[in-house]
Each structure stands twice: as structure tokens, then as C-alpha cells.
Amino acid sequence: MLIRNAQIRSESAGQLVDIRIDDGRITWIRPAGDAAVAGVDSQAHSGQGGRSSQSGEFGEVVDVAGKFVAPQLVESHIHLDYAFSAGTPRDNESGTLFEAIEIWRERKQLGLGTAEEVRAKAIAAARSAASHGVGFIRTHVDVTDPELVALGVLVDVKKEVADFCQIEIVAFPQNGMYAYPGGDELVERALREGADVVGAIPHLEPTREDGVASLKHAFDLAEKFGARVDVHCDEIDDEQSRFVEVMAAEATKRSMQGLTNVSHAVAMSYYTPGFMARLLPKMQAAQLSFSVCPNENLHLQGRGFSNPVPRGVAPVKQLVDFGLNVAFCQDSISDPWYPMGNGDLVRIIDTGLHVGHMLTPAYVDTCLDFATTNPAQTLGLSDYGIAEGKRANLVVFEAGSEREILQESAPVLLSINDGRTVFERPSMNPVWRL
């Protein structure tokens, strides 16, 4: 396959390139119009969305006419087993995180959500994300069920969607490990039965001491299974919730730098400057990464406060400016926690930059980092990116730059996974009659 006239992130903006793909890998990237592909132009014809394609010596040739080509997007925090469950058994009337957890508990007690339903909805959610250019997903799976039904379903789903999306699974104890008997053992069993990453939720444990113990147990399991750690950490409007500090300390003590991800970190937005000044170097030493879910936490947090209502989103700009790795994530697609969502990470980046006071050139012009290279680093993806020799996982946006993608909420016109076309989409531009 040959992709012609692509705009990629490069030192020389405006210089279009041709990208050749063979056997699922990018074999070369050359300035557009290079002699090696001369003659292809004479056969090209215009197609929808400014693209044209044909077959010939280079296999399929797609002329993207200056559109922006990025690596396939990476969703580093979502709950596929919860997708499309909103309203059953009831809606979340308060909009709070704690009513959502209560609804989820009721749902489990009532036995709602058969394995087949969870499977169909998880695949639909993965397809929805993939339709917006996502090629890699880290999903948290609730492992508080003694039968581990959702885990079994997601292990199957992982195989079923492998043609268009690479999934990894976090063993996530939604109600805590120590809030009921055997919770910690279920996390370990989940790791034996197909989960890839160790999860925890320390702020929902019965006491702070239980929360610390749950983190130590999570790191013990990570060492035992050679797994990474990804924790729902401090997702609460409480500046006393400081489990992220424990995560930094454990990651550093156990030489797990760069292998530990903090999801949400909502309470951090309430920390005092004095505490943050001590915390930032510790997080940097541990090379913590962060999955921030701005849409979800803007909806859930700050309930019950009088004006001015807090934002309840981690201080992203402060983290990024300190050199920490931050990704923006969807978290939910229509579940008790969040009634919206479709897996479109450009929408999430938009919200994240707004709430983070980051609509400035330094962030806007490289905004795809928050859903590409940053979460790829969180997942430890090797072979990722637009470069010669890398796996050919890439998308073509209907825009010429990252700024334009953000401003226009530009759709993905073409998605390629390991060299194979996942989907094409016609131009979303209007055909003007007046």
C-alpha cells in the first residue's frame, strides 16, 4: 500500500510525504513526489473527501491530498464491560459517583447483564472507539464477581476484535479488595485467568490503612506476575485522599518506574501548593503516568459544593509542565457513571484542554499526543508511531493539522491496522448548493 501526499508531524511542517506499507509495516517515508513513485500521479483520480485510490505497482495507492496522518489512537482508560448499561436497573438521578456504584451493586444483585449481553455491548463499544481511529484499548474489568464472568467475556472479546483493535485488560476490584471477604484473591485469580494489568481502588477501601494495604498488594501481584499497575486513584473530592503518594513510593521502592499508571487523580486538584511541591518530584522519580478522564469527572465531581464549584479534574497542565506523562481517556460509554460517550478521543482532548487552561499553541498544535504517544507510553507499546520500520497502525483525519482536527472535531476518513484497512469514511464536508 502507498499513502501519497500525507501531512505528518515533522520538523518541516507543510512538507508532504508518501508512506509505503508492506506486510503490515511502514517500509519507508519519503518526500511526496519522490522519483521512486513517479508515474503514479498520471493514474490517480479524485475520490470523496479529497482522497483517491487505485491499484498498481505499489498495491493500493491512496492519495490523501495533504490530510493529517497520525498513529492510530490509544484509549488507555475505559470500561468495556460497563458499556451501554445506563438505565438498568435505573438511571443515576444524582449524577454522583457514589450513586453509580450503588446502581452497579444493585445490578449485580439482580443478576442483570448476561454474558452474551456484556459481550455484544463490549464489542459495540470497541467498534465505536475504533470508528474514531482507536487501535489500542486498555479496559478495566470488574473482578468482584466470584464467577469472573465479565473477565471471561472480555478475554474472548479481546480475541474477537484483534483484527482491528489490540486490547489489554486490567483486573479492577470495583468495590475494593478488602471491603468484602476474598476481594484480594479475586484480583489474583483474574491475573491467572487472562487479565494483563493489576488494578486497585484504594479510596473505596474501608479505611485509609486498607487503601494502603490494597496498593501494596497490587504491587506485590505486579511483581509476582510481571505485570504493570493501573489504579483508580483518589477519584474523590477530598484533599485528604493521597494514595497517589503511596503509589509513587511503592513504584520507586520496587524499581517499577515507568510501569505504574494513576487513573483519575481527582483529589490532586484539591491539594495545597505545599503538598504538591513535595509530591511532584516523587511522582517524577517514580515515572508515574496519568490517565485523566475530563468529561467523566466534570460530570461526577464537585457535586454538593456551592459556587464556585470545583472542576474535579487532575491539574493536567501542572503535571505536563513538570514532565509527567498524561493521557486523556473516555472512561465510560453510557453507563451508570456517565450517560454519554462514544469513544471519540478528539472530543475528550477538546474537553481536557479546555478544563486544563491549555488552549495555547504549546498544547493545541501537538494535541494528539494526549491520545497517541502519551497513552502508548502508558501501555508500553513498542513499534508505535509514524516512522520507518514501525507497525502500520495509522489514521487519516479530515484536516491538515492537529489544530484543525481539534477545531473542527475532524472525523477519521481512513483507519489502518497492521497494514490492513479497518474502515473508510466519506468526507463529512457539506456539498454546497448556494
**What residue ranges bind Zn ion (CB under 5 A)?**
331
Identify the CA nearest to 141 among candidates 112, 168, 105, 180.
Answer: 168
3-class state of residue 66 by DSSP: coil
Which of these, 397, 417, 292, 298, lies nearest to 346 by C-alpha position?
A: 397
**Shortest CB 394 distance to Zn ion, Å:** 28
Of 168 and 331, the one with the shorter C-beta distance to Zn ion is 331
Nearer to Zn ion, 184 or 331 (CB): 331
Question: 335 vs 350, which CB is nearer to Zn ion?
Answer: 335
In the complex, residue closest to Zn ion by CB: 331
Residue 377, SS3? Answer: helix
| Cα 195 from Cα 223, distance rounded (Å) | 14
Least distance from C-beta 269 to Zn ion, angstroms? 17
Contact (Cβ atoms closer than 8 angstroms) between residue 416 and residue 134: no
User: Which candidate, 398, 392, 387, 385, places its Cα nearest to that of 424?
Assistant: 398
Nearest CA-CA partner of 356 in 260, 259, 290, 285: 290
71: helix, strand or coil: strand
Place of cell 480475541: 159
Q: Answer whether 343's CB lies under 8 Å from 361's CB.
A: no
CA atoms of 247 and 194, how far apart (whole Å): 24
Nearer to Zn ion, 271 or 337 (CB): 337
Give the residue with the Cβ less far from Zn ion, 18 or 331: 331
Q: How far is the CB of 232 from Zn ion (least distance, A)?
A: 5
CA distance 93 to 147: 30
The order of strands in the sheet holding 59-63 is 25-31, 17-22, 2-6, 59-63, 52-56
Minimum CB distance to Zn ion, residue 83 (Å): 12
C-alpha cell at 102: 450503588
Residues 141 and 169: their CA atoms lie apart, in Å, by 7
Q: How far apart are CA 206 and CA 213, in angstroms?
A: 11
Nearest residue (CB) to Zn ion, 5 versus 214: 214
Shortest approach of Zn ion to residue 331 CB, angstroms? Answer: 5
Give the list of residues 6+ apart from residue 120 with CB closer than 8 angstroms, or none.
none
Q: Which of 75, 188, 205, 235 is catalytic?
A: 235
Cell numbers standing for residue 162: 484483534
Q: How far is the CB of 202 from Zn ion (least distance, A)?
A: 14
SS (H, E, C) 107-170: HHHCCCCCHHHHHHHHHHHHHHHHCCCEEEEEEEEECCCCCCHHHHHHHHHHHHCCCCCEEEEE
With respect to Zn ion, which residue has the nearer C-beta, 188 or 331? 331
As measured in angstroms, the least distance from the Cβ of 161 to Zn ion is 20
**Smaller CB separation from Zn ion, 99 or 331:** 331
Distance CA 394, CA 396 (A): 7
User: C-beta of 82: minimal distance to Zn ion in Å?
Assistant: 9
Examine the residue annotation and report whether 60 is marked as an active-site residue of this protein: no
How far apart CA 353 and CA 326 sit, in angstroms, is: 12
Annotated catalytic residues are 235
